[in-house]
Amino acid sequence: MRGDMSNCVDFKWAPSPADWRSSLRTMVPMFRWAPWFAVVLGVFSLVLLFAYDDMLPAALFGLGCALVIGFMEPIAVWWRFSSNEMISRTVVGSADEQSFRMAVGPVREELDWAELPSWTETRQGFVLETLDEGSASLSVPHRAFASDEDIRSFRTLLEQRIGPAK
């Protein structure tokens, strides 16, 4: 038996590209700032296009780069999500005072809370940083929980076992 199971929170969801995108935007600065950089580059390119007649090649190049930068992230997320069957399978999990558990099909993982150094809450859900190499994270969307009370219980567990949100 695993300690006090009265504080156990269960969750289950079918992942979507938006879940993965939210996690990437939280963990990787390039994904967070790319859309803003594309907008700024596009605006400067439009100024060059309409304000200076001799800057047409630079303006078109800037607009092209802005489009590539702006669409790079959503296309990369969609491609990665659709090309990997495991990423799109239903996730089932639970968390209690002892550990955080997730299962995707036959793959099961149990992490002690000490293996999760920080967490962030986004509009879509929770992003848990892991101690794996690089910027590894686990996402648990709000829709994974059966009720608002379960979301509050999970948030309380995170605050008690990991600390305040980042």
CA triple 38-41-42, angle to 5 deg: 80
CB 20 within 8 A of CB 156: no
Query: What confidence tens digit (pLDDT) does each residue in 31-50 have?
Result: 888 889 999 999 999 999 99
**Residue 62 predicted with pLDDT over 60:** yes
With helix as H, strand as E and coil as C, how does 3-57 read? CCHHHCEEEEECCCHHHHHHHHHHHCHHHHHHHHHHHHHHHHHHHHHHHCHHHHH
**Residue 154 predicted with pLDDT over 60:** yes
**pLDDT for position 135:** 55
Q: Work out the average pLDDT over 131-153.
A: 85
CB 54 within 8 A of CB 162: no
Q: Work out the average pLDDT over 145-160.
A: 94
pTM (global) more than 0.75: no
Query: What confidence tens digit (pLDDT) does each residue in 76-102 have?
Result: 878 877 777 777 788 999 999 999 999
The structure tokens 């001799």 sit at 54
Both structure tokens of 139? 């996402």
**pLDDT for position 3:** 42
Q: Work out the average pLDDT over 23-35.
A: 80
**Positive or negative: CA dihedral 130, 74, 124, 91:** negative
**pLDDT for position 1:** 35
**pLDDT for position 14:** 87
* CATH 2.30.29.30 for the 8-19+86-161 domain, yes or no: yes
| Domain boundary assignment for the chain | 8-19+86-161, 27-83
